[in-house]
Structure 1
Amino acid sequence: MKAAVLYEKNHIVYKDMEIRKCQPDEVKVKVMAAGICGSDTHKMIQKWKYDLPAIMGHEFSGYVVEKGSKVTDVNIGERVVGIPFLPCRKCEYCLRGQYSLCDHYGMIGSKSYGAFAEFVNIKATNILSIGNMDFEDAAMIEPSAVALHGVLNIRPQIGDVVAVFGVGTIGMLVIQWLKIAGVKEIIAIDISDKKLQDAVKIGCEKVINPLKEDLVAKIHQYTNEMGVDIALECAGSKVTQEQCLLVTRKQGKVGYLGIAYSDVTLSEKAFENIFRKELILKGFWNCYSSPFPGKEWSNTIEFAKAGKIKLKDFISHRFALRDTQYAFNMMIERQEEYNKVMIIPNKE
Structure 2
Amino acid sequence: MAANVPKTMKALRYEKPETFGIVEVPVPTLRDNDVLIKVKACGVCGTDLHIHEGEFLAKFPLIPGHETVGVVAAVGPKVKGFQIGDRVVADNSELCGECFYCRRGEELFCEHFEAHGVTMNGGFAEYCAYPAGRVFKIKNLSDVDATLLEPASCAAHGLDKIAPKMGSSVLVFGAGPTGLVLAQMLRQNGGCRVVVAAPEGLKMDLAKQLGAGDEYVALSRSNPEAQFQKLKAENPYGFDIVVEATGNAKILEDAINYVRRGGKLVVYGVYANKDRVSWSPSKIFGDEITILGSFSETYKFPAAIDYLDSGKVKVQGIVNKTFKLEQWAEALEAIRTKKAIKAAIVFD
TM-score by length of 1: 0.90
Secondary structure of the corresponding residue to residue 302 of structure 2: helix
- Between the aligned residues of both structures, percent identity stands at 28
* 2:341 alignment partner AA: N
Cα-to-partner distance string for 1:78-113 (whole Å, 9 max, x where unaligned): 111111000111123323332222221111112211
| Greater Cα offset, 249-258 or 2-11 | 2-11
Equivalent-residue separation in structure 2 for 1:302 and 1:48 (angstroms): 28
Q: CA deviation at 1:134?
A: 2.2
Match of 2:341 in 1: 339
Alignment partners' CA distance in 2, 1:48 and 1:233: 19
Q: CA deviation at 1:215?
A: 5.1
| Preserved contact between residue 87 and residue 102 of structure 1 (Cα < 8 Å) | yes
Matching residue's letter, 1:227: G
1:179 counterpart letter in structure 2: R
Counterpart in the other structure of 1:247: 258
Amino acid at match of 2:275: D
Q: Measured at CA, do residues 156 and 325 of structure 1 come closer, stay the same or move farther in structure 2, by a change above 3 Å?
A: same
Quote the offset at 1:337 in angstroms: 2.2
Decide whether aligned partners of structure 1 residues 133 and 217 sit closer, same or farther in structure 2, where only a CA change above 3 A counts: closer
Structure 1 position 214, deviation (Å)? 3.1
Structure 2 residue 183 is matched with structure 1 residue 175? yes
How much does 1:195 deviate?
A: 2.0
Structure-2 change in CA distance of 1:215 and 1:276 (3 Å): farther
CA displacement 1:297-344 (0-9 Å, x = unmatched): 212212222221112421011001111122113333x1x522111010
Deviation, 1:14, is 1.6
Equivalent in the alignment of 2:80: 72
Distance 1:299 1:279 in 2: 28
After the TM superposition, which residues 290-329 of structure 1 pair with which residues of structure 2 at under 5 Å, given as runs?
A: 293=299, 296-329=300-333
Q: For each residue in 1:219-254, what CA deviation from the matched residue of structure 2 results, as whole angstroms up to 9, or x when unmatched?
A: 33332x111111011111111211221111111111
The separation in 1 between residues aligned to 2:259 and 2:57, in whole angstroms, is: 36
Distance 2:228 2:301 in 1: 35
Of the three residues 206, 210, 214, the one matched with 2:216 is 206
Residues 245 and 271 in structure 1, CA contact (< 8 A), matched pair in contact too: no
Indicate yes or no: 2:274 matched with 1:274. no
- Separation of aligned partners in 1, 2:161 and 2:201: 29
Preserved CA contact (<8 Å) 1:86 1:105: yes
Give how far 1:132 is off. 4.6
Matched residue type, 2:278: L
1:30–1:62: 8 Å Cα contact kept in structure 2? yes
Higher mean displacement: 317-326 or 7-16? 7-16
- The residue correspondences of 1:185-224 to structure 2 (distance < 5 A) are 185-203=193-211, 204=213, 205-209=215-219, 211-214=223-226, 216-223=228-235
- Alignment correspondent of 1:263: 275
Runs of at least 5 residues in structure 1 that lack an aligned partner in the other structure: none
| TM, length-normalised to structure 2 | 0.90
| Other-structure match for 1:234 | 245
> Does 1:17 find its partner at 2:25?
yes
The alignment of Structure 1 onto Structure 2 pairs a total of residues equal to 335
Distance 1:164 1:50, change over 3 A: closer
Structure 2: stretches of 5+ with no match in the other structure: 1-8
In the other structure, the counterpart of 1:86 is: 94
- Is the contact made by 1:314 and 1:340 (CA closer than 8 Å) also made in structure 2? yes
Residues 73 and 175 of structure 1: CA distance in aligned 2, closer, same or farther (over 3 Å): same
